[in-house]
Structure 1
Amino acid sequence: MTPAVPATPTAPASVSFPALGTTASLLVADPGAMTAARRVLDDELAAVDAACSRFRSDSELSRVNAAAGAAVHVSALFAEALDVALHAAQVTAGVVDPTVGSAVRALGYDITFAALRPQDLGPLHVAGPSAGWRAVDWDPAARRLRLPPGVLLDLGATAKALAADRAADRAAEVTGCGVLVNLGGDLSVAGDPPPGGWRIALADDHAAPGTAARPTVSITEGGIATSGTSVRTWAREGRRVHHIVDPATGDNPTPVWRTVSVAAFSCVAANTASTEAVVLGDRALDRLRRAGLPARLIRMDGTVERVCGWPEDTVQENTAAKSSSRGAR
């Protein structure tokens, strides 16, 4: 009898396309599962956009913000996104807070980044400290929400990460194979990974060509999120402005980190920690160590800091996916 020859592992299949103002990438360990996995991802992206987009007048978030001062009933998906945002605010002591909507708008980010033109922006305005997550009147059992007058929610810091987690989990369940979802630097994996895990290339900008010279890491579960201040930027009155806001001031935080990548048990947890790190500056190192989260932080001068076992940089060809800071909101 001729002995059986082990089958050669099939390379994961991948597809990338524009979504949520950034690039969505989907990888599946079984190429035959791509159609079903893509359908799941498309459904999740459409749902989260309809629920949480700041840039759609017909989104549920726009309706909630327009009703500030009055109680509104929200959908199950919006309730989940709000719960995630409020939890992020709680665990970060308000450093990552959903009540920064007015501050983000004041800095000029009140339309999609693709449509934002510096010549259309008025004078730079800083809104001042945000109301804070405790000001949100939220009854999760009844799904009833009331915002104080003048308070605007912005779920951008966590909603995209939640979409990545939801899509990866559901696609893995539907297809029965390993799945990776990357939404502009918010990356989640579920199911059985390919041999050696999913290889991730790290970059400031996912849209930059080539991955051969980029450091890579491998993950088999959970998520990685990268937040940064070097790509999604615009100029106002001679000053460079970006999308990450310190709720304590309503302004961009003091520039310390160009890019922060964090690995955690979920993309939401990783995104919360990476955004918090950008706001905290040098204090982020001790905070990440206390939380036990592996992280790679790049200072404005290019110096790299690593904590909690994040590996030394290695470069590998044919990287499976790219994680970047672009599209963080």
Structure 2
Amino acid sequence: MSTPLKPRTTAATEWRALGTTVRLVVTDPAVLESCDLLLARHLAEVDAACSRFRDDSELAALDHSEGRPVRVSPLLAEALAVALHAAETTEGAVDPTVGSAMDAIGYDRDFTLVQEDDRPVRLTVKRAPGWRTVHLDRETGTVAVPAGVRLDLGATAKAWAADKAAALLAETAGCGVLVSLGGDTAVAGEPPADGWQIRVQDITGPVDETPARGPYATVGLRSGGLATSGTAARTWHRADHTLHHIIDPRTGLPARTPWRTVTAAAPTCAEANAATTAALVKGAGAVRWLSRTGLPARLVNENGQVITTSGWPAASPRSATGSHRRSAA
């Protein structure tokens, strides 16, 4: 989990939307209220377009399209384009066609409700239909989704929404802006003098149950985005199964991975989040794959060992506490 630390010269507010914590920080306190209103409107529009849990969302309407091309809003078209690009750049490790797999493991509603549900689930290995089955035509603004395929934009939509919001607010307000959605963080505009100081925290238990916290690092971000993905923060139980929300498209089941959390920095938060989700799915091959991408990354395994790729800031003594750290070139 990535938590923005509040510099003294900024103003911040925090609330909930899209099923997660929203944090807004601006370098000009006078514009906080107006930026907050714009952010709330932006996230409401994203929810109406992209939510898998709303029967009236644009995304849900595609469930009944039976393969016919459907005209969608520019907002949903952009979100789909980001998701399909993430699938391509991660070699299919992040795939938006895992919606039915999410439903099958019980993640078919807001996460707070998922935790309270005790219905049994039957875990069946079933490969996701694959992102190449989705045809998006940006010129006509249409998308065709085959019958029986349900889309889920959870691996990209929040991070993309943070990117769009940060850019919009920075341009409108003329100041530095940080937007964090569930710890996926995007910044835009002129940053504070020492950059945006963000604590990257290893979460070792469910976020809504006062989770145990492992080793952390503090990094400075001046542009782009930072994202963290993990298997511990969103877990639930069904009978004898402990489940999490990171789906391996090859099996349609929660990914079996040696990593507890993965954090990465990238030119955009959407790229960072796609990389961290893909790393969890890629498992033992994640360090080598992340190194090839050139993205600075920090991985924490189940034993609390911290491994970093080239470009990640060196650890301070306090951030390395309780872990053994090595870098991967």
The alignment's TM-score, normalised by the length of structure 2, stands at 0.89
Residue among 238, 242, 250 paired with 1:236: 238
Contact 2:156 2:273 in 1 (8 A): yes
Gaps of 5+ in 2: 1-6, 320-329
Structure 1 residues 10 and 302: CA distance shift in structure 2, 3 A: closer
One-letter amino acid of the structure 2 residue matched with residue 59 of structure 1: S
Residues 77 and 136 in structure 2, CA contact (< 8 A), matched pair in contact too = no
Q: Which residue of 1 aligns with 2:200?
A: 202
User: 2:278: which partner in 1?
Assistant: 276
Counterpart-to-counterpart distance in 2, 1:253 and 1:92: 15
Shift of 1:314: 3.4
Of 245, 248, 251, the residue aligned with 1:249 is: 251
* Paired residues of 1:257 and 1:299 also in contact (CA < 8 A): yes
Distance 2:36 2:117 in 1: 38
CA distance in 2, matches of 1:276, 1:251: 14
Report the Cα distance in structure 1 between the residues aligned to 2:131 and 2:64, rounded to whole angstroms.
18
The residue identity in structure 2 corresponding to 1:246 is: D
The offset of 1:252, in angstroms, is: 1.4
SS of the residue aligned with 1:98? coil
Q: 1:307 aligns with which of 303, 306, 309?
A: 309
Q: What is the rounded CA distance, in whole Å, between the counterparts of 1:119 and 1:65 in structure 2? A: 24
In 2, are the aligned partners of 1:263 and 1:293 still within 8 Å (CA)?
Answer: yes
Counterpart in 1 of 2:136? 138
Moved more, 133-142 or 223-232: 133-142
Q: Deviations over 1:85-110 (max 9, x none)?
A: 00001111111010011111111100
Decide which of 284, 287, 298 is 1:285's aligned counterpart: 287
Deviation by residue 1:236-255 (Cα, 9 ceiling, x = unmatched): 23121000101111011212
Equivalent-residue separation in structure 2 for 1:68 and 1:156 (angstroms):
22
Question: Which amino acid counterpart does residue 43 of structure 1 have in structure 2?
Answer: R
> Which of these residues, 259, 262, 275, is aligned with residue 261 of structure 2?
259
Gaps of 5+ in 1: 1-8, 318-329
For residue 10 of structure 1, report the CA deviation from its aligned partner: 5.9
Q: Match for 1:68: what amino acid?
A: E
**Which residue type is aligned with residue 274 of structure 1?**
T
CA RMSD of aligned residues (A): 2.1
1:209 positional shift: 8.8
**1:92 and 1:31 mapped to 2: Cα distance?**
39
Match of 2:327 in 1: none
Q: Distance in 1 between matches of 2:97 and 2:125?
A: 12
Asked whether the 8 Å contact 1:216–1:315 carries over to 2, the reply is no
Give distance in 2, aligned partners of 1:48 and 1:295: 28
Are residues 81 and 13 of structure 1, via their aligned partners in 2, closer, same or farther at CA, if it must alter by over 3 Å?
same
User: What are the within-5 Å matches in structure 2 for residues 131-170 of structure 1?
Assistant: 131-170=129-168
1:14 maps onto 2:12 in alignment: yes
CA distance in 2, matches of 1:63, 1:89: 22
Structural mapping, 1:157-236, within 5 Å: 157-205=155-203, 214-236=216-238
CA distance in 1, matches of 2:281, 2:211: 29
Structure 1: which amino acid aligns with 2:257?
Answer: P
Query: Which residue does 2:296 correspond to in 1?
Result: 294
Separation of aligned partners in 1, 2:40 and 2:287: 37
- Equivalent residue, structure 2, for 1:320: none
**Superposed displacement of residue 185, structure 1:** 1.7
Task: State which of 97, 103, 107 in structure 1 corresponds to 2:101.
Answer: 103
Residue 88 of structure 1 corresponds to 86
Are residues 20 and 316 of structure 1, via their aligned partners in 2, closer, same or farther at CA, if it must alter by over 3 Å?
A: farther
User: How far is 1:118 from its partner?
Assistant: 5.2
Q: Is the 8 A contact 2:10 2:26 kept in 1?
A: yes
Change (3 A) 1:152 1:25: same
Assess if the C-alpha contact under 8 Å between 1:214 and 1:315 holds in 2.
no
SS at match of 2:229: strand
Aligned pair count?
309
What letter matches 1:161 in structure 2?
A
Residue type at the aligned position of 1:252 = P
